[in-house]
Amino acid sequence: MALDKMQMNLLKTIADLEKVPDGAFNLRLDGGLAMRNNTENITIETKQDKPGIDIYIKAGTKNERVDIPVIVSKTGLKDLVYNDFYIGEGADVLIVAGCGIHNDGSEKSEHDGIHAFHLAKNARVKYVEKHYGEGEGTGERILNPTTEVDIAEGGYLEMETAQIKGVDSTKRVTRAVLGDKATLIIHEKIMTHGKQSAETDFAVDMNGFDCGAHVVSRSVAKDNSHQHFTSLINGNNQCNGHTECDAIIMDNAGVTADPKLTANHVDASLIHEAAIGKIAGEQLIKLMSLGLSEKEAEEQIINGFLK
Amino acid sequence: MLELQNVSFQVDSENGQKEIIDSVNLRIDERFVAITGPNGGGKSTLAKLIMGIYKPTAGKIIFNGVDITDKSITERAQMGITFAFQQPVRFKGITVSDLITLASAKELNTSQVCNYLSEVGLCARDYVDREVNESLSGGELKRIEIAMAMARGTELTVFDEPEAGIDLWSFKNLISVFRKMYDKTNGSIIIISHQERILNIADRIIVIADGKITNDGKGEAVLPELLGTQSATDACTVLKNKVDME
């Protein structure tokens, strides 16, 4: 099947894809399977008991990429999907997921993706997720992703999530359990504007010996939007945990940071940093002294911050 | 080129109004002017008044015949004024290359960005993609600030204590940067400095203390007076006595 121009544009925005890729690929369009491609090492299967897919990556698979974009282009569609990733021992892969909603209608469009990652011993994954909404309609665009991560000994998951613009409401939940010497790195970027609301909720159980977690959220809240950041790190063994919430607030927006750290082991080392504030006046002055208008300076600062 | 007419800048203080800059009249047409004087004398405030970061509470500022007193920072920058901060600003996510490109106001390729960085003694390859954040030292930021001023290459550049924090970098290089800017821009450079080697090469030295100009003239005339001031003599006497006692 061929994608129309609007759908191709969404695909480009969320997955940086100009065409259907050669590697493992699964495109979900308006609540159903649109295209799929398996490779020798990566198999994607449709779930039998509920909507969604199982992705199996063979042990030892190296330098392969899996793309699983989702496009919602119908107004009034509520799409719920369960995607399970099974990453074999010693594999090292890039997984790109993203959801673009185009809503020209008056009813709300919603995509709720529940992603579960099961990393076997020494598996490494880089997971990139982009969320984007567009359309002229008054219908809301809602994205509620849930990510569950289970990393076995020596495993490594790096997650980059970005909600670029146009999503009216989002509730992002991430749960992770780390085994011995497992590492979890999360970089979240969110920008909200208008009356949008964004809620993120991270909880990491650091159960393994010498495991590490580094969770960083950078966000910009503009206009009348509101953001709520919650993080909970439980240090249940000798481990290093770090969370950081750094937010720029503008106009009449509001941001709440609600970090929690719990150490249940004497060698658990846990740190949280949170900063919320407007753009520093001296940053604006510096860029204006290079000839930028105040608005251009603001854009540069925000683009850099969310880069 | 630049003229300050009766410029004052007052702030509120515990004891009522305080004059940080007090009725300063100044006309600068020279190519290389140094402003010096004691700490807290008003030098940095004067530079900020020129860039438009502060607005004078009285008086006028004229640049190339145009009254810029009410012009914004952006407008002044676009008219050809550059200000290199004493304490450069840090950003999150914005790279050295981003800032140099913004400063030059045109697309630059990596080798052009590298040229500017090399001029200020930074090994360009290590810095181009670095974020201008807490990971850079004060001295590194200072050099990047100077590279930005070079990339702008405007008619008037004001440096606020460019030598501070770059002690390990020889002044020879710093001075050669100024000379290059001098040749390239065909414009004027005003440097706020305490460094004798910078004052040495200035066409003109202006001394500011307590918000007023207390001395102003050709470098060779003002510098000997500065080096022989009462405070300098006193310090030497104290030191001499201490050495004698030991």
Asked if the structure places residue A302 within a domain, the reply is: no
* Average pLDDT value for chain A: 92
Phi and psi based region of residue B32 (left: phi greater than 0; alpha: psi -120 to 50; beta: remaining): beta
Note the pLDDT of residue A210.
98
Residue A5's Cβ-side half-sphere holds a number of Cα atoms within 13 Å equal to: 0
Q: In the predicted model, is pLDDT for residue A247 greater than 90?
A: yes
Touching B: A residues 218-237, CB under 8 Å: 218
pLDDT digit string (tens) for B57-106? Answer: 999 999 999 999 999 999 999 999 999 999 999 999 999 999 999 999 88
Tell me if chain A has a CB within 8 Å of the CB of B133: no
Asked if the structure places residue A128 within a domain, the reply is: yes
Domains of chain B by range and CATH?
A: 2-87+154-245 (3.40.50.300)
Report pTM: 0.84
Residues A196-217: b if buried by 16+ CB within 10 A, e if exposed? bbbbbbbebbbbbebbbbbbeb
Asked if the structure places residue A300 within a domain, the reply is: no
Nearest chain B residue (CA) to A218: B92
The set of residues, in sequence order, having a beta carbon less than 8 Å from that of A215 and lying 6+ positions away, is A184, A185, A186, A188, A202, A204, A231, A233, A242, A243, A244
Note the pLDDT of residue A107.
85
Taking the CA of residue A291 and the nearest CA in chain B, the distance in Å comes to 5
Asked if the structure places residue A190 within a domain, the reply is: yes
Q: What percent of chain A has pLDDT over 90?
A: 71
Q: In the predicted model, is pLDDT for residue A298 greater than 90?
A: yes
Question: Using alpha carbons only, how large is chain A's radius of gyration in Å?
Answer: 20
Tell me if chain B has a CB within 8 Å of the CB of A246: yes
Taking the CA of residue B191 and the nearest CA in chain A, the distance in Å comes to 17
Tell me if chain A has a CB within 8 Å of the CB of B72: yes
Asked if the structure places residue A303 within a domain, the reply is: no
Number of domains present in the structure of chain A: 1
Where does the pLDDT of residue B124 fall: very low under 50, low under 70, confident under 90, or very high at 90 and above?
Answer: confident
Asked if the structure places residue A295 within a domain, the reply is: no
Specify the higher pLDDT residue, A2 or A193: A193
Contacts B95 to A, Cβ<8 Å: 304
**What does each C-alpha distance from A177 to A151, A185, A213, A272 come to in angstroms?**
6, 13, 10, 19
Specify the higher pLDDT residue, A1 or A125: A125
pLDDT digit string (tens) for A31-76? Answer: 888 889 999 999 999 999 999 999 999 999 999 999 999 888 888 8
Which of A278, A287, A290, A298 best tests the B interface by mutation, with the highest count of B CBs <10 A?
A290
pLDDT digit string (tens) for A78-123? Answer: 888 999 999 999 999 999 998 888 888 888 888 888 999 999 999 9
Lowest mean pLDDT among A256-270, B86-100, B105-119: B105-119
Specify the higher pLDDT residue, A106 or B53: B53
Nearest chain B residue (CA) to A247: B92
Rounded distance, CA A184 to CA A243, Å? 11
Average pLDDT over every residue of A194-202: 93
pLDDT digit string (tens) for B149-187? Answer: 999 989 999 999 988 776 555 566 777 888 888 777 778
| Interchain contact, A291 vs B77, CB within 8 Å | yes
Q: How many CB pairs under 8 A join A and B?
A: 56
Taking the CA of residue B50 and the nearest CA in chain A, the distance in Å comes to 11
Tell me if chain B has a CB within 8 Å of the CB of A304: yes
Contacts A303 to B, Cβ<8 Å: 93
Note the pLDDT of residue B119.
86
Note whether A198 and A219 are within 8 A (CB): yes
Specify the higher pLDDT residue, A192 or B171: A192
Domain with A219, as residue range(s), is 5-281
Distance linking the first and last C-alpha atoms of chain A:
34
Asked if the structure places residue A304 within a domain, the reply is: no
Tell me if chain A has a CB within 8 Å of the CB of B229: no
Note the pLDDT of residue A249.
96
Asked if the structure places residue A25 within a domain, the reply is: yes
ipTM of this predicted complex?
0.89
